[in-house]
A and B are shown apart, each in its own frame.
Chain A
Amino acid sequence: DAKTTQPPSMDCAEGRAANLPCNHSTISGNEYVYWYRQIHSQGPQYIIHGLKNNETNEMASLIITEDRKSSTLILPHATLRDTAVYYCIVRRKGSEKLVFGKGTKLTVNP
């Protein structure tokens, strides 16, 4: 599975958009990009995933660059409850495991 690189921490003001970057320069054509988050003392929560195209759901948007070597998770209007560790994961098609790194600790400030 391709390795991902994320900044260890980020801050965001409440109500503003949070843009979390992820580098996955060794991604191959059959690998998906996933985002999960983990709020303190809880299990990880699925946010969104994509292969090539940008994706949007009720929680967030996923922007994948054309060369697929990086992506950005966008939380359009961050709230205090979005404070969590955000994990960017690359999963090979056909694999059932998610390989988590250390993620980005996002702190949303009032």
Chain B
Amino acid sequence: DAGVTQSPTHLIKTRGQQVTLRCSPKSGHDTVSWYQQALGQGPQFIFQYYEEEERQRGNFPDRFSGHQFPNYSSELNVNALLLGDSALYLCASSSQGLAQTGELFFGEGSRLTVL
């Protein structure tokens, strides 16, 4: 049973570029959340997708957008990259969200470096 898988694992971009990160949830899960983790900090909630809709959003600008596909996989897009967007981006999945299960399963993340 595959867990949460993310791609790519590492990537380097330059300021002003755009990036797309991908996530496949754990088998049987339908809800995907994205978190940003800067070096030395805890993860920060970006947003959550359920039934292909953004259900809840954290304090991130509109440059951060997402999408969920009918097969429950998800993408995180970041436009106009800034140096401060360099971080580990984590995807987490659950079945119908924390209200139902109380538990998130995290992937190993995509490490983004912005130069």
Residues of A within 8 A of B105 (CB): 46
Residue of A at shortest CB range from B40?
A102
- The smallest beta-carbon distance between B87 and chain A, in angstroms, is 13
Number of B residues, CB within 8 Å of A:
27
Contact of A44 among B31, B56, B106 (CB under 8 A): B106
Contact between B42 and A97, CB atoms less than 8 A apart: no
In the complex the two chains form, what is the Cα distance from A100 to B43 in whole Å?
6
In the complex the two chains form, what is the Cα distance from A94 to B55 in whole Å?
12
Residues of B within 8 A of A99 (CB): 45
Chain A interface mostly = loop
Answer whether residue B113 sits at the interface, using C-beta atoms and an 8 A cutoff. no
In the complex the two chains form, what is the Cα distance from A47 to B103 in whole Å?
9
In the complex the two chains form, what is the Cα distance from A36 to B29 in whole Å?
19
Contact between B33 and A46, CB atoms less than 8 A apart: no
Answer whether residue B97 sits at the interface, using C-beta atoms and an 8 A cutoff. yes
Contact between A93 and B99, CB atoms less than 8 A apart: yes
In the complex the two chains form, what is the Cα distance from A93 to B102 in whole Å?
10
In the complex the two chains form, what is the Cα distance from A21 to B52 in whole Å?
39
Chain A contacts with B in 50-84, Cβ cutoff 8 A = none
Answer whether residue B16 sits at the interface, using C-beta atoms and an 8 A cutoff. no
